[in-house]
Homo-oligomer: A and B are copies of this chain.
């Protein structure tokens, strides 16, 4: 963790140039903060991080190439001392908690004020978990269906889930993936178990609610 009297090296990862510009402008006021760079793609930032010190990352969790979730985990793996602050417009509790699970030190919705932003930065750098005002409310007021935590699926399971949501039957999927229908059945069974549901109807609903299938 960087000391507060030291210069803080900050990076921005966001696919919105406007947002990057806004953050830069707001943070330029702070003499302690040095903006090392801004990136519109996760991969570019990872390349940068390989060769440069970064104390804090403002990370949009909705990126075009990688999922911000995965990126967050990758960042903490490569550079555990880098503090990640998630920045997003998502106001769903499950998503917020998920990103924290993946190593982020806080979560800000994009409508934060500049003072709020700076406060959160400081808190995060002190090693605390930082939330913007709106996020705090979301955290403390959970919805019913959010009590069950989001099951973590394997790659294959995600794939099967996707295919099931497209109406594909077990034999069809087996043929498409070149595996035994019995294997598919096992995956299905595990999906039902993980989501704690009895049948596909419930499965799809649960997956939709957790935004694990988009449908478009």
User: Which A residues contact B (CB, under 8 angstroms)?
Assistant: 15-26, 40, 89, 110-114, 117, 143-145, 164-167, 169, 197-205, 208-209, 213, 215-216
Cα A19 to Cα B17 with chains together (Å): 9
Residues of chain B contacted by A205 (CB below 8 angstroms): 165-167, 204, 208, 213, 215
Q: Interface of chain A, helix or strand or loop or mixed?
A: helix
Rounded to whole Å, the gap between the CB of A170 and the closest CB of chain B is: 11
Rounded to whole Å, the gap between the CB of A207 and the closest CB of chain B is: 9
Q: Which of B19, B89, B169, B201 is close to A204, meaning CB atoms less than 8 Å apart?
A: B201
Which residue of B is nearest A203, CB measured?
B201
Residues of chain B contacted by A23 (CB below 8 angstroms): 18, 21-22
- Let me know if A114 and B21 touch, CB within 8 A: yes
- Let me know if B21 and A26 touch, CB within 8 A: yes
Cα A110 to Cα B17 with chains together (Å): 8
- Let me know if B143 and A216 touch, CB within 8 A: yes
- Let me know if A199 and B202 touch, CB within 8 A: no
Q: Which of B112, B117, B202 is close to A167, meaning CB atoms less than 8 Å apart?
A: B202
Given A15-B111, A117-B18, A209-B216: A199 and B169 interface contact (C-beta under 8 Å): yes
- Let me know if B145 and A197 touch, CB within 8 A: no
**Nearest 10 CB-CB pairings of A with B:** A22-B22, A167-B202, A21-B22, A18-B22, A204-B204, A16-B111, A21-B25, A200-B201, A25-B25, A16-B110
Q: Which of B22, B144, B165 is close to A20, meaning CB atoms less than 8 Å apart?
A: B22
